[in-house]
Each structure stands twice: as C-alpha cells, then as structure tokens.
Structure 1
Amino acid sequence: MPMALYPFWADELQAPWALGMFYAAITVGSVVVTLTSGWIRAYRFHGRAVILAAMGWGLAIAASGLSNSLIIVLFCLTVAGASDMVSALFRGAIWNQTIPDELRGRLAGIELLSYSVGPLLGQLRAASVASATTLSFSVTSGGLMCVVVVGFLALFLPKMWKYDVQTNEFAVREREIRKNRELS
C-alpha cells in the first residue's frame, strides 16, 4: 500500500499537479470493476479469483514502482484498484456462502481489524523502506513481496485455490440451511 508515498512520487515524476490522480487511481479501478461486476455470478472458482486478484494487485504495484512515466504509474495503480475490488467481491461472496450466521459477528470484527490495520502497516512499511532506500525500490519490493507471500500461502491453502461455489462443502451446507429457512 504505497499511498503514504504519493506526494513524494508525484514530485519524483515532476508532476505535483497530478497528486489527486494518484489518490484517485485505485478508486477508479475499483469503480470500473464494480460497474462491470455482473460476470462474477458466472465464475464459480471464487478462491482462485481471490488469489489471482491479490497477485494481480502485487504485480500492478510492482510494475508501477518500475516506471518513470506518470501515465504508466497511474494505469498500474488503476489496475491495482481493479484487482483489489475483484478480490473484495469474491471474498465477500465466499463470506456470504460459507460463514454460519452465528459466527458472522465475531468474524466481522476480525475482518474489520485486518482492513483497518493492514493498509496502515503497508504504508508504514512503504515509507520506512523508501526512507532507507528509494521510492522505486520500496514500491516495487512491496508489490513483489505481495505476490510471493500470496503464492506461498496459496501453496499451503489448497482448499482456497480449489474453492468452487457449486461443490464446496461449506457453501453447499449454508445454501441448504438458507433454503430450508425459506421453506419454513
């Protein structure tokens, strides 16, 4: 999460006038995916989508750190935002398909903690690495670390990679429970 570096990044690219575009780029990518998200209903391998989207975020962030072109940096940040929204939509779908109602409150608290603390820690990492090295190295290394960590975790979470909304035991069970509630 390189947002703490945006003012310095805009200066480094000799485009301080584009600072607002830096802040908007991730949101633009998210909005584009949201407006075109109808295809998500037809894609059944939600776990794979989450993993690939998280890796897409990392690759887009890494690519943005390698560029000295404002347009390419903004494009990469937009792709990162799109990847993040794909991940969020599929994570939300998995959440709604598999989590029993009685556990949702507790898990929502944990999820809120990760959403509020994770990006802030990412900004702290980005700023710390940039101050010790360069902005480009900080952004690129952060993106690559994301790809490596997600890939590593995917190896140890094969059920996540194989998660299929039509056959996953938890999704099938929750679907049956909800169907029975509706019939009652």
Structure 2
Amino acid sequence: MTGIAAPDRPRRRIFADLTPLRTSPHYRRLWVGGTISWTGQAMTALAISLQVYEITGSSFSVGLVGLFTLVPLVAFGLYGGAIADTVDRRKLGLYSAMGLTGLSIALAGAALLDHHRVWLLYAVVALQAVCGALNGPARSAMIPRLLPREQLPAANALNSVTMTSGVMVGPALGGLVVGWWGYQVAYLIDAVTFTAALYAMWRLPSMKPERDDGSAPGERGRASVLDGLRFLGTRPNIRMTFFSDMAAMVLAHPKALFPAIAVLWYGGDAKTAGLLVAAPAIGALLGGLFSGWQGRIRRHGLAILLSVAAWGLAIAVFGLTRNLWLGLFFLAVAGFADTTSMVFRSTMMQAATPDEMRGRLQGVFIVVVAGGPRLGDFLAGTVADLTSPGVAITGGGLACVLVLALLALRWRGFARYDARSPQA
C-alpha cells in the first residue's frame, strides 16, 4: 500500500460513522450516558465558577478553581490508571460515577441551605477531579473490549463529539439555568444527568483486565504505575503519540492570549475573546461530525503527524492575521486538526496496548491532556510578555512543526505504523 488510505473500501462516508452505536448496545448506552452526563458536568463547572465569583468578587479565586481541579487530576491520573488495570473496570466506573453524583447532590444541598462557602466549592471540585481521574481510565479501557478493532476510530470520533458538544452546550445551559433558577437547580440537573451514566455502567458486563499470558484476574496482584511507565518507555509508537500531542499543546496553545489579542488585534471586548475560545471548539465538533473518512485510514502514525502539523501551521497563520473572521477560520481549522489527531492517537493507544496496560496508559494520557495545555498557557504568556503576542503565537506554531519534524526523523517507524498490524 502506497497511500494513507486503503483503496479497497467501497463506502465513502462523509459524516461520522455510527456503526459502533448500531452494533454494540453496551457502547451505545455508554456513549449516550457519557454525552448526557458530560454536558451536566460542563454546566456545573460554569456554575461553580460563577458562585465562587459571587462569594469572593475575585477573579483570582475563580482561577484557583482550575488549580484545585488540575492538581488532583494529574496526581491521581496515573494511579487511577493503575487501579483500572487491577480491578473490575465496570465497578470502578460505576463507583466513581456514583461519587460524582453524590458531589453534585452535595453542591445542590449546600446551595439550598444557603451554605455559601468557597472552601466547600474548592473541596468539591478537587474530589470531582479525583473521581474523574478514576472514571476516565476505566471508561476508555472498556471501549476496545466492547468493539472490534476496525470500529475504534469511529468510536473515538463519536467520543470527540461528546466532549466538544458538552463543552459548547453545557456552559451555555449552565448560565441560563443559574440566571433563571439559581445554583441549586443547576447542580440538581447535573446529579440527574448522571443517572444515564450510572445506568450505562450498571448494564455493562464484568470488565476485569485480561492478561496476555491467560492468568486469571485473581492472579494479577498489584498493578504498578512504574510498570506502566516502563512499558511506555519500550513502545516508541505509543510514546510518539504523547510526544506529538505535547508538541502541539505546549508549544502552540494560544488560549491564554485570547483576552489580550481580542483588544489589541481586533479592538474587541469579552465577547470577541469568547468567539476566539469558541472557534477551536466549533472546528473540533465539525471534526467529529465529519469523521466518516477516518475509518478508511490505515497509516495512523502518518495521519497523526499530518494532523499535528496542520494544527501548528493553522496557529502560526492565525498569529499573522489581523482580520477577526479570518482568524476565527484558522482557529477552527486548528480545532478540526486537533480532533483528527486525537481520534488516531486514542485508537493507536487502544489497539496497540495489551488490555492489562490500557488503564495505566490512559492515566498517562489524562496527565498529558490536563497538563500540556496548562504548560502551553504559561509558555505563551511568558513569551508574549517578553516579545509580543504575535511572536508567541506564530513562533509557537512554527516551533510545533519543527519539533514534530525532528521527532518524526528520530522515530521514523511511527509514520509507517499500519492499523492492520498494530505495533506499540
């Protein structure tokens, strides 16, 4: 085969491939439940930020919400993955979802009792991050057990639709609900939406990790985080999926500069900054909705390299333009490329990793996804202060492409990765 795509597939889909939803009732319930509950979580996240600001009147205090979320998510991400490689993943997903439901009920109860304490909100978001760090690896490690390998790209594209639509719809609903009925109603709605995720988890079969040597789950012993990291150190293709994502998120992540450039470049205000934030999310959503072609791609490594390069180039060009609509277009292109990269990175990690290691590698994935953009915000802000926002954005995009090219030269086999015979 000389190209990226397989020529022997007669169907030419444009829109998202819904085959996983049709063929697997378990995956269908998991996807529907996750979509509903993710929207509720996004609604609650905005409500918490609004409530913190109402209590304190401080933007710094609102910023601390992100810190109280990030630290537990990173700290427990690796251990959540290790736990997911030891216990029944169905039970872990069910119990962690129950924990998230209970936290939403606690928020609603505190609001109903007029117990407005910022420390309580910080404690809840930290515990939510812990539950999320346990739930995420368990859910992701289940998908390769529910679907055949050839349906994994379609499933990951559908999961991207869940995430991006939730991020777009959830905050909008949260603002409306808080404005009309108050915080307690927003938190109660979130708790109710979790029933869909709980039902999906409850209906799943047992999901105990499987070992390649055929040993029983009871013989597994304790899954070590270090063993997972050692495994990653011996798998260059899987390792490259993380390196490529870090190149994009650390070097070419301009989100922290959007408030400044909304004023400096476009003479706008907070609404302009909101458009800049929304543009990559819209592109990402379109990337999930128009993902039917991805099932025909076999050279996943090459697809990742091209997608990440497209992200970097789109960000670089965005840094050069001073027309708002043109800038929004290139940000949307970047979001589309990011979703495409995410689909193939997730698929490669799921297909080329033995079941007994999937939870731990998903834990590493959570750490990278959570930590990379935060480092990118810090780097972009620092470079912009030392030079200018244009240099930070365009230079970061070009640096992303350069580092990606060096990585591809260092691990040449990554571009030759073939999904029909996945090798980690």
TM above 0.5: yes
Match of 1:127 among 375, 381, 384: 381
- Going from structure 1 to structure 2, the CA distance change for 1:169 and 1:110 (only over 3 Å counts) comes to closer
Consecutive aligned runs of 4 or more in structure 1 exceeding 2 Å deviation: 167-170
Counterpart position of 2:263: 11
1:135-146 → structure 2 map (5 Å cutoff)? 135-146=389-400
- Going from structure 1 to structure 2, the CA distance change for 1:167 and 1:105 (only over 3 Å counts) comes to closer
Letter of the structure 2 residue corresponding to residue 79 of structure 1: V
Match of 2:281 among 27, 44, 56: 27
Counterpart position of 2:408: 154
> Alpha-carbon deviation of 1:169?
4.4
Letter of the structure 1 residue corresponding to residue 413 of structure 2: K
Which structure's residues are more often helix, by fraction?
A: 1
Supply the distance in 1 between the matched residues of 2:334 and 2:261 (Cα, whole angstroms).
16
Q: Please, what TM-score do these two structures have when normalized by structure 2? A: 0.39
Letter of the structure 1 residue corresponding to residue 415 of structure 2: W
Counterpart position of 2:254: 2
Secondary structure of the residue aligned to 1:66 is: coil
Supply the distance in 1 between the matched residues of 2:288 and 2:383 (Cα, whole angstroms).
32
Supply the distance in 2 between the matched residues of 1:157 and 1:83 (Cα, whole angstroms).
22
> Alpha-carbon deviation of 1:114?
0.8
Deviations 1:19-52 (A, max 9, x none): 1110101100100010011111111111001011
Secondary structure of the residue aligned to 1:14 is: coil
Supply the distance in 2 between the matched residues of 1:110 and 1:166 (Cα, whole angstroms).
25
Counterpart position of 1:179: none
2:300 is equivalent to residue 49 of structure 1: no
- Identity among equivalent positions (%) equals 38
Deviations 1:49-107 (A, max 9, x none): 10110111100000000111111111111011011000000111111211111011211
2:328 is equivalent to residue 66 of structure 1: no
- Going from structure 1 to structure 2, the CA distance change for 1:99 and 1:168 (only over 3 Å counts) comes to closer
Which structure 2 residue ranges, 5 or more long, are not aligned? Answer: 1-252
Deviations 1:126-180 (A, max 9, x none): 000000111101100110110001111011111210011124445xxxxxxxxxx
Which structure 1 residue ranges, 5 or more long, are not aligned? Answer: 171-184
Supply the distance in 2 between the matched residues of 1:168 and 1:30 (Cα, whole angstroms).
26
1:56-95 → structure 2 map (5 Å cutoff)? 56-95=310-349
> Alpha-carbon deviation of 1:15?
2.0
CA contact (8 A) 2:300 2:418 kept: yes
Supply the distance in 1 between the matched residues of 2:338 and 2:380 (Cα, whole angstroms).
18
Supply the distance in 1 between the matched residues of 2:412 and 2:422 (Cα, whole angstroms).
13
Secondary structure of the residue aligned to 1:164 is: coil
Letter of the structure 2 residue corresponding to residue 15 of structure 1: G
Counterpart position of 2:129: none
CA contact (8 A) 2:350 2:358 kept: no
Secondary structure of the residue aligned to 1:109 is: helix
Q: Please, what TM-score do these two structures have when normalized by structure 1? A: 0.89
Letter of the structure 1 residue corresponding to residue 407 of structure 2: L
Counterpart position of 1:166: 420
- Going from structure 1 to structure 2, the CA distance change for 1:120 and 1:152 (only over 3 Å counts) comes to same
CA RMSD of aligned residues (A): 1.1
